[in-house]
Amino acid sequence: MFSPSAIISALTLAVAASAHFTLDFPETRGFDEEIEPKFCGGFDKVGNRSQFPLGGGVLAIDSHHPSASVLVTIAINDAPTSFDQFNATKSAGSAGTVLPFFKIEGEGVHCFATNIEGLGIASAKDGVEATIQIQFDGGDGPLFQCADVTLSSSASATTPSTCPAVSPAPSVSSTATSTSTSSDSAASQTQTPGGSGTQLQVSAALLAAFAAFGGFLAL
Ligand SMILES: [Cu+2]
């Protein structure tokens, strides 16, 4: 039922999207898998800014690794340019951990609820500009994506239609660990010998499913 060209383009899409992870919601500053290990995924400048609810905002990422550890931090700053601006220990009340390190299993879209107003950050108020950074490690080192937002007490929490489910926001302690320390321990936890080989096998097995799905989208 799918034309050969649709299947070929779907295969190309599936291969091109096979690496690392993407931030699907809110809008990312930018994605380039080659520079994703850098601060904000290699995009230093503020991008499109979207409204993000102070309570109940949902994040959606698409993982292309079988398992990964994820950390979500926020900088209350209109143009953060370095990791330490996301470090809650830098200056109390200016930044913090939105979601502490947690593991996700399975490739595909994962969605998480946040509760920024529950973090106890005094400066996180309605109308304040901030940047949310997602740190992701699927076994090939820490990767980053950023979304520039305006915190809002009136914006309704949008759940992207691609979310299979939304994990509730955990209760977050106000004393967050530093990004660099956490990243080191997470990397050692998730690196397993032969991990990438396993991933390739899984990807090959799922290629037909991806192609069918991509072909559907292309129609
Ligand atoms: Cu990767």
pLDDT at 102 over 50: yes
| Residue 115, phi then psi, degrees to nearest 5 | -145, 75
- Cα(118) to centroid of ligand 1, in Å? 31
- Is pLDDT above 90 for 50? yes
* 154 compared with 215, residue with greater pLDDT: 154
Burial class (CB in 10 A: 0-12, 13-18, 19+), 93: middle
How many residues belong to the chain?
219
Residue 89 scores a pLDDT above 60 = no
Provide the 8-state DSSP code for 107. S
Highest mean pLDDT out of 31-35, 100-104, 171-175 = 31-35
pLDDT of residue 12: 39
The rounded Å distance from CA 154 to ligand 1 centre is: 36
CA of 152 to the centre of ligand 1 (A): 32
Q: Are 147 and 160 in contact (CB under 8 A)?
A: no
Highest mean pLDDT: which range of 82-96, 121-135, 194-208: 121-135
Two tokens at 143? Answer: 């990767």
Distance 184 CA to ligand 1 centre (A): 16
Residues contacting residue 161 through CB under 8 Å, at least 6 positions apart = none
Choose between 138 and 84: higher pLDDT. Answer: 138
Closest Cα to residue 112, out of 151, 73, 60? 60
User: In whole numbers, what is the pLDDT of the chain averaged over residues?
Assistant: 76
Ligand 1: distance of its center to the CA of 125 in Å? 34
If you average pLDDT over residues 194-216, what whole number do you get?
35
Say if pTM beats, i.e. exceeds, 0.85. no
d(C-alpha 14, C-alpha 121), whole Å: 40
Q: Cα of 33 to ligand 1 centre, how many Å?
A: 8
pLDDT for res 95: 60
Ligand 1 centroid to 77 CA: how many Å? Answer: 28
Are the beta carbons of 83 and 131 closer than 8 angstroms?
no
> How many angstroms does the Cα of residue 101 sit away from the middle of ligand 1?
17
* Residue 123 Cα to ligand 1 middle (Å): 34
CA distance 202 to 101: 25
Least confident range from 36-40, 196-200, 208-212: namely 196-200
Cα-based distances in Å from 38 to 1, 33, 51, 80, 86? 42, 10, 25, 14, 14
The upper half-sphere exposure of residue 89, i.e. CA atoms within 13 Å in the direction of its Cβ, equals 9
45-59, 84-98, 127-141: which range is least confident on average?
84-98
Backbone angles phi and psi of 125, in degrees to 5: -125, 170
Q: pLDDT tens digits, residue range 111-169? A: 999 999 988 888 899 999 999 999 999 999 999 999 999 999 999 999 999 999 999 87
Domains of the chain: 19-191 (2.60.40.10)
pLDDT of residue 84: 87
Q: Is the pLDDT of residue 208 over 70?
A: no
Going from the Cα of 24 to the center of ligand 1, the distance in angstroms, rounded, reads 16
Contact 25, 160 (CB under 8 A): yes
Distance from the CA of 129 to the center of ligand 1, in angstroms?
Answer: 30
Confidence band, pLDDT 50/70/90 cuts, at residue 171: low
